[in-house]
Amino acid sequence: MKKREEMKARVDALRAKHVEPLLARFPRMLPTAPDSAARYALYSALVWFVIWILIAATTALKLVFPEFIDQFGFMSYGRMRQAETNVLNWGVLFMGAVGAAFAIIPRVCQVRLWSERIGAQIVIGLNQVVLAGTVLVFLGRTQGISGLEWPWPVDIALVAIMFGVLQVLMATVMRRTEKRINAPARHLIAAFHVFPITYAVANFSTPFFYGVKQTYFSGFGAAGFLLAMSLVGVGSSLFVLPRATGNPIYSEKLATYGWVTMLFFLPWLGLTARILGPGQDWLETLGITLALASLVPAAFVATNLIATARAGGGKDPAVKFMVGAGVIWALALVQLAAGSFRHPAAIVGATWWNESVRTAFLGAFGLWLVGLMYHLIPRIRGRALRAPAIVNLHFWIGTAGVVIAWASLAVAGVVQGYLLRVGAETGGEIAAGEGWRQISIAVQPMLVGRMAAGAFIFTGIVLLLYNVQRTLAEGPETEPEPVVPERAPATVGGQS
């Protein structure tokens, strides 16, 4: 016993001598305050949101005006397009998902985050990974696989970050004082298992499998991202809506059914990417069947979110974002299922239609993240929103932007597919060269529509940035929301 106390005293002395000065020197790098890691992640996502919209706007402009900044190789359309996709996926959406998990899991488990310091370090590391991946893609370092563009050193770092997030979350869950793993926790825990497993399997297989075989893995990776972000979005909504409306989730059963059916149906959606392409018919049929089955979780989730929002009162502006995003997400699953059947796929497959489906999903995830930011940031910073009226404006502008882009691209896909088919049937020179130019001219108004939608989304992000900045600078002060209410222990292992 005495020996143990001596050892403890020695450790304390070493800590006082070496660790504490370091912590005092870098208080922002190694924070201990509650919600520090969540704040870092949410603010980082906000910054990447701005970077993303600038890249996306430039990309959309280049598609309408191809001569726009065409002198520089690093700003060529192909490189910018890859950078744009990856900044959105990892810098904005995954970063936001990490922030959501770091804020929500402790609250629903009634325990502080296992380690704010490690959480903050993970967020700092994730920022470096996203920056490195983006710079490398701009420099032309790409794996050349849609959805898996980042080079392998970045992939390894990203997988390590994902497992780090999982470690922090699971250590928090294991120390919980609330025994019940409720709906938001279930969704988020599952999501942060899906992220590393699917990304690692998809990326680390690329050196070993060539040709069509590689597409099985890349499809698994893409569907894994879709599943994980869907779980984060739905889990966040099931956390925010009851708090914002003051009523419980409309149906716990629907929440459970939605969660289970998402887990078992959504990982297959990667099989729908190349319907009628090279590959096995039975695999296509499996993909189409599971795409149809994904309408089940779409119905469960949309019903539950709408009913929860309608049952409650409250004026939290986040409610609109959560429900609007849920509806767009469910409709995107309907669109994906409809386009995966072989007859429609013969028209709209490999056209702008695919981009339309992706726009709807990513738009829904973006709206979920924005709603979460409006809900969480004032609470964890202890300041009321500076301009709540702007949030309403942001909702309508942002939603209009997503819907206009989504619809424009869907129409462009149908037009493109029909023109190709008519050209093929009439023997016209439509597939390439001068004929393809006719297709480009036909879809140009829709691409201009998409560019206009981008301006709406850009305006929304400016409003978000303005509102958050003003809130942090001069929002009316309130009590920061405690992670753990008074009755529960305030300090749990891993925290100093």
Partner 1 sequence: MRNERGAFNIGIVIGLTVLALAMTAVLGILMPLTDPAVGSEAAGQPLSYTQEQVEGRKIYIREGCFTCHTRMVRDAAADEPYGPMSLPADYFNEAPALLGLDRVGPDLTCIGDRQSDIDALVKHLRNPGSVHEGSTMPSYAFLSDRELRAVASYLTALTCQEA
Binding characters for partner 1, 130-169, by CB under 8 A (x = yes)? ----------xxxxxxx--x--------------------
- Which residue number, 249 or 336, has a Cβ lying nearer to partner 1? 249
What one-letter code names the amino acid at 49? F
Among 260, 292, 295, 472, binds partner 1 (CB under 8 A): 260
Distance in Å, CB of 363 to partner 1, minimum: 17
Total residues in contact with partner 1, by rule CB under 8 A: 106
With binding defined as CB under 8 A, does residue 313 bind partner 1? no
Rounded CA-CA distance 187/210 in Å is 34
- Which residue number, 278 or 313, has a Cβ lying nearer to partner 1? 278
Instruction: Return the closest-CA partner of residue 418 out of 339, 489, 351.
Output: 351
The HSE-up count of residue 286 (CA atoms within 13 Å, CB side) is: 11
Other C-beta atoms closer than 10 Å to the C-beta of 442 total: 14
- Which residue number, 119 or 297, has a Cβ lying nearer to partner 1? 297
Among 21, 27, 66, 246, binds partner 1 (CB under 8 A): 66
DSSP track, 146-178: TT--S-HHHHHHHHHHHHHHHHHHHHHHHT-SS
Stretch of residues binding partner 1 (CB under 8 A), selected from 8-16, 182-190, 332-340, 374-382? 182-190
- Which residue number, 32 or 251, has a Cβ lying nearer to partner 1? 251
Residues 6+ apart with CB under 8 A from 389: none
With binding defined as CB under 8 A, does residue 179 bind partner 1? yes
Among 36, 44, 82, 89, binds partner 1 (CB under 8 A): 82
With binding defined as CB under 8 A, does residue 345 bind partner 1? yes
With binding defined as CB under 8 A, does residue 406 bind partner 1? no
- Which residue number, 154 or 461, has a Cβ lying nearer to partner 1? 154
- Which residue number, 11 or 276, has a Cβ lying nearer to partner 1? 276
- Which residue number, 65 or 396, has a Cβ lying nearer to partner 1? 65
With binding defined as CB under 8 A, does residue 434 bind partner 1? yes
The HSE-up count of residue 266 (CA atoms within 13 Å, CB side) is: 30
Q: Are 361 and 325 in contact (CB under 8 A)?
A: no
With binding defined as CB under 8 A, does residue 190 bind partner 1? yes
Binding characters for partner 1, 21-60, by CB under 8 A (x = yes)? ----------------------------------------
Distance in Å, CB of 52 to partner 1, minimum: 16
Stretch of residues binding partner 1 (CB under 8 A), selected from 19-27, 187-195, 325-333, 465-473? 187-195
Q: Are 463 and 392 in contact (CB under 8 A)?
A: no
> Which residues ranging from 351 to 370 are in contact with partner 1 (CB under 8 A)?
351-352, 354-355
Fill in the DSSP letter of residue 482: P
With binding defined as CB under 8 A, does residue 173 bind partner 1? yes
Stretch of residues binding partner 1 (CB under 8 A), selected from 68-76, 319-327, 361-369, 487-495? 68-76
- Which residue number, 53 or 414, has a Cβ lying nearer to partner 1? 414
> Which residues ranging from 367 to 396 are in contact with partner 1 (CB under 8 A)?
none
Rounded CA-CA distance 319/375 in Å is 9
Q: Which residues pair with 383 in a beta bridge?
A: 477
DSSP track, 413-456: HHHHHHHHHHHHHHT-S-SSHHHHHHHHHHHHHHHHHHHHHHHH
C-alpha distances (whole Å) from 129 to each of 43, 150, 151, 161, 203 are 16, 10, 11, 9, 15
C-alpha distances (whole Å) from 103 to each of 26, 39, 194, 469, 482 are 23, 8, 19, 20, 11
What count of residues does the chain have? Answer: 496
Residue located via tokens 């563009």? 149
With binding defined as CB under 8 A, does residue 177 bind partner 1? no
Instruction: Return the closest-CA partner of residue 258 out of 238, 242, 276, 286.
Output: 238
> Which residues ranging from 228 to 257 are in contact with partner 1 (CB under 8 A)?
248-256
With binding defined as CB under 8 A, does residue 489 bind partner 1? no
Structure tokens at 349: 């497959």
With binding defined as CB under 8 A, does residue 420 bind partner 1? yes
Residue located via tokens 């939608």? 453
Among 37, 95, 104, 194, binds partner 1 (CB under 8 A): 194
Binding characters for partner 1, 201-230, by CB under 8 A (x = yes)? x----x--xxxxxxxxx-xx--xx------
With binding defined as CB under 8 A, does residue 89 bind partner 1? no
Q: Are 101 and 37 in contact (CB under 8 A)?
A: no
